[in-house]
Structure 1
């Protein structure tokens, strides 16, 4: 009976799960989440991300937790084997402690992994991390950086990209979270079939994200609720033979418990589809019938909590 109830639960919230069960079993996409330190709630973020992906029926997810302090003796043995996975999700952020960095050998291993064709998912505040790591800046394209560092990309009312040079405008910042209307700028396998605009709940929109902004494709953008300016929300970067997906969606602050931003059907669907594309180069996960519209958010019930 418990097995039947669990199946009904999964099928109600993830329509693709039942369809997949009727198909020939597919090879699961292997994902590694890297966490260990952040000014956000990285433990809950990792566990909820793992559950969202695994409930889709397309992934198997492992977690590698880095030491959390500069002088931790565990750094000597921490050496995640990125090349053993189809996708790596980066969930560390040292913005409050710049000295807390991965060992250079681990940085080089990630660089080699992506250059050789690996898929890298930069989850929300992970784009705040590692400003002194040159290859990381290249991989993420745009990050949380000071005014003098790199280009910022703004979107005009016609959907054209405006490149703001270093020293002009502002350093990266954001206002209060709000229900943002996500506008598709570039059709891509990740958002194929999405409405032109859809609303996500309680999102942080990064203003003046900065970086090299090379080999970058902006997938979507949103209008800032205070200034009215339009800024990128999601983008992909080509790095060597590999692909990187970056998004400011997925905010989970300390003290939050299964927040509405993570219960958003649009966010969960996009996370699954982005990870599938990074791991296979294509997207098969269906768009659920309750995907949000441009006028209304769509969220899982608060009582239906992800177990972690």
Structure 2
């Protein structure tokens, strides 16, 4: 059994009352995953950040994602870490209804049916979902999950999944039915994030072109055709053949509607340093607020990148 940690608010309360030592640990017999709660603020947007499995270094990126959100003062983040790959997920069933938005930093084993059902009901009922980097590649065999995605790749997906979906500066969103890989990535390099929906609440006021710090760039991604009407492409990046790219403008930020719910995809942000790039932070925090509420009030910071200069916060 793993530990469930008391939130900072409860630690302060317990210490003040003198009832229990500050370091007390509560064991939850119903769950084997680890839950770490952030500050308790009833006025905040409640975020459930799920990690625990995947090929990327979620141990490094999760604390940075949590920091990005909590620096705004608007979010109360609870981190839920699933059991590792070699343990069963049979009892995995978060109480999604306690939260406004789920941030997925997870690309591992498929969840049990009861968790899948609760998750989809949460989104369809108006909950928010944010998918960070490799989380956009999760759950290839979960058919209904694919309807939450603008694009995806790898993990057994092939041209039967759907056409390539990318952006053409003259035509807009393009679907290309063609054989080939479903998911490729470049090496680490700087690239420009091009806004394609400047009037969307997430993108309004953001520089039309932002230079992102060195990061992987996903390319050759596909989307399921039936989901196209629910998709808005927010931003793209040119996948440069000099960096093993596709030669196309690949989707990097997108939204999807599912029932009453809002989904925000951010395809970049490989690890901790990349998640402190301002070209990542600003869309991520604004996209999370939008997914949770449908509105965006977070202002554009002074250190917003330009086309020629990226910024990475300490």
Please classify the TM superposition score into its range, dividing by the shorter chain length: 0.7 to 0.9
1:224 aligned residue: 239
Q: Report whether the alignment pairs 1:246 with 2:255.
A: no
User: RMSD of aligned C-alpha atoms?
Assistant: 1.7
Q: 1:171 to 1:76 in 2, by over 3 A?
A: closer
For 1:118-267, what aligned pairs fall within 5 Å after superposition?
Answer: 118-144=127-153, 145-165=157-177, 167-187=178-198, 188-212=200-224, 213-214=227-228, 215-226=230-241, 227-252=246-271, 258-259=272-273, 261-267=274-280
1:180 offset after TM fit, Å? 1.1
1:177 offset after TM fit, Å? 2.2
Q: Any unmatched runs of 5+ in structure 1?
A: 1-24, 95-99, 253-257
Q: Report whether the alignment pairs 1:107 with 2:122.
A: no
* Misfit runs of 4+, over 3 Å: none
2:99 aligned residue: 85
Matched length: 263
Equivalent-residue separation in structure 2 for 1:84 and 1:175 (angstroms): 38
Q: Please say if residues 122 and 140 of structure 1, whose CA atoms lie closer than 8 Å, have aligned partners that are also in contact.
A: no
For 1:40-51, what aligned pairs fall within 5 Å after superposition?
Answer: 40-51=56-67
Q: Please say if residues 35 and 46 of structure 1, whose CA atoms lie closer than 8 Å, have aligned partners that are also in contact.
A: yes
Q: TM-score of the superposition, structure 1-length normalised? A: 0.81
Q: Please say if residues 178 and 225 of structure 1, whose CA atoms lie closer than 8 Å, have aligned partners that are also in contact.
A: no
For 1:54-93, what aligned pairs fall within 5 Å after superposition?
Answer: 54-72=70-88, 75-93=89-107
Q: TM-score of the superposition, structure 2-length normalised? A: 0.79
Other structure's SS at 1:210 match: coil
Equivalent-residue separation in structure 2 for 1:173 and 1:183 (angstroms): 20
1:32 aligned residue: 48
1:3 aligned residue: none
Q: Please say if residues 236 and 245 of structure 1, whose CA atoms lie closer than 8 Å, have aligned partners that are also in contact.
A: yes
1:23-63 alpha-carbon deviations (Å, 9 max, x no partner):
xx992100001111010111222111111101110100001
